[in-house]
Amino acid sequence: MTKKETLMRLIKGLFASNKKAMIIVLISLIFSSAGIMSISVFIQLIIDEAIMPALTQGWSTVSSTLFTILTFMIILYSVSVIGTLIYTQIMAKIGQHYLDDIRKEMFEKMESLPIGYFDQRSHGDIMSYYTNDVDTLRQFITQSLIQFAMTLLTLVFVIAVMLYYSFFLTLFVAIGAFTMFKVTAHIGGKSSASFKDQQYSIGRLEGYVEEMMYGQRVVKSFVREEHAKKDFDKENENWFEDSKRARHYGNILMPILHNIGNLMYVLLAVLGSVLIYFSVTNVGFSGIYPFSIARVGIVVSFLSLSRQFSQNIRMISQQAPMVGMALGGASRVFEFLALEEEQDTGYVKLVNCIEHDDGTIEETDKVTNEWAWRHPHSDGSVTYTKLKGDIVLENVDFEYVEGTPVLKDISIYARPGETIALVGETGAGKTTITNLINRFYEIHEGKIRYDGINIKKIRKPDLRRSLGIVLQDTNLFSGTVRDNIRYARMEASEEEVIEAAKTANAYDFIKHLPKGFDTELSANGENLSQGQRQLISIARAACANTPVLILDEATSSIDTRTEALVQKGMNQLMEGRTVFVIAHRLSTVRNSDAIMVMDHGEIIERGDHDSLIEQKGIYYQLYTGALEME
């Protein structure tokens, strides 16, 4: 997106929902800028209509004229002050409302992005959109934009008055103005590009800082503090260089414009003095336009107008770095908002149902805790399939990066109530399989069927609503323990929450917390132990009460004693459900109905525990310790 497109989108966004308020702002700006500019007009009027006549006729003859001029000046200044108060207050409100809308739009966009986006970007860089980039918009809307508009309006008034007074002198000022504009455009353009680079640099820097904050235990454990400092210094130096380059252009612009303005002022004073001399002495070109119109008041007023003109151009140039930074931040925000959202072409819905004695299924709006897939067909008919948890992968191929296969010809048959274990070294593709079942990523070849329905036909929210998941890395949210357990199913009753906690064997430790289920959790549950956090995560999956359960290293962060406590609850949780278990501790999967041994994206062995032990292959070596899992 070009700078012009970015600026136009910003302005259109401000006008879109605030048309009446922005019109009032524009009117207020006109009155305010007219008041600022009028000082030069009043100087001319006071000199030519009061002071000069008073020198020859006496003050008594011009007192009424002077009084009238001063009265109009006070009225116009009062209106100018009122206009300034109005537009500053309105713009403050408009700016905050606009930023509020932008943040909401950004968050909605973030929630609609595919998982792949977050896997490929640092969270700190994404956070930079909400902090640094949005803050540049705040400064632009509440300060730079209004100052820019005010300056432009003042320039219009100044040019109009100068043209009215003297085309010849205005032409002279225009030469200086053209020079100033060319300098501003050249240097300001470079400054704007550098500020955009600066915004990207600070995003990368914040991403690195966030990474180090979350990884401090690892950094200290491996004594990598000095290495982390060097990497930080490198990122910080990149940001420093981009920022220095951006500020450099802004810093050299002001002195150049200031000196051009001073030179123009001096030359204009000399030229004006010459014109006054011609007019007073009636010699040379005194009778020829434009020399014949020179008066003291006009020349003095022109000097004031010239000063205002150059000051306004300098004010524009002062805002150029801020505008450049804002356009850089806005460009990143708009690029973020333009990202392609997660696509969902599914049309099969998950609905509450009632199953009659004859096996027919009826859709209902009531909460029955019985579910069916509502499958509309092209001929207008609708069929209902009971949600059972039958998952089938047929010849599935997948690659994150084109040309680099991650899964090759994967076929898995998980019947309702069966437990399928996926084992193998890190990077074998185990978690990728569960990501494909959730449709976090789309398969390249093959099919995945859920209760006989191709999952591409199922709406993603409905598909994911039917899957419970417990991850190796627990994610708890600010709120109470109850809120976190109920997160997967907010309509769950108090009894269901308690039952879920008991199922995960989390109830005993929860009731001993200071406020039990009402205990507030800090960021990601940092006031709990790792094992306790995982137990709540398991209780959350139990509360979801889904027919399919995915356990991705669910007990890897739980100590042996806690694992023994939770295993009973896990077995109860898994009962009657289709379960995919990813585990490094092979003792936790020995009772699985089928075990898939994976290596480099392929299933190299499959069977139950006993049959695999008899084969004395890779699984046997892993189980007996002859091979390490990593």
The answer to whether residue 199 scores a pLDDT higher than 50 is yes
Rg (CA), the chain: 37
Cα 419 from Cα 174, distance rounded (Å) = 82
C-alpha dihedral sign at 50, 52, 56, 58: positive
* Conformational region of residue 361, where left means phi above 0, alpha means psi within -120 to 50, and beta covers everything else: beta
Comparison of pLDDT for 585 and 514, the residue scoring more: 514
Q: What fold does the segment set 3-199+249-337 form as a domain? A: ABC transporter transmembrane region fold (1.20.1560)
pLDDT in tens, 382-439: 999 999 999 999 999 999 888 889 999 999 999 999 999 999 888 888 989 999 999 9
Cα 417 from Cα 405, distance rounded (Å) = 31
Q: Which two tokens stand for residue 281?
A: 């002495």
pLDDT in tens, 490-529: 888 899 999 999 888 889 899 999 999 999 987 677 778 8
The mean pLDDT value for 218-238 works out to 74
* Residue 366 buriedness (CB in 10 A; 0-12 / 13-18 / 19+): exposed
Task: Name the pTM for this structure.
Answer: 0.72
Cα 501 from Cα 572, distance rounded (Å) = 12
Residue 549 near residue 468, CB atoms below 8 Å: yes
Q: Which CATH class is domain 391-624?
A: alpha beta
What is the number of alpha carbons within 13 Å of residue 585 lying toward its C-beta? Answer: 16
Q: What backbone torsions phi and psi does residue 2 show, to the nearest 5 degrees?
A: -75, 165
pLDDT at 97: 85
Cα 619 from Cα 587, distance rounded (Å) = 12
Cα 417 from Cα 419, distance rounded (Å) = 7
Average pLDDT across the chain, whole number: 81
Domain-wise residue ranges, the chain: 3-199+249-337, 349-386, 391-624
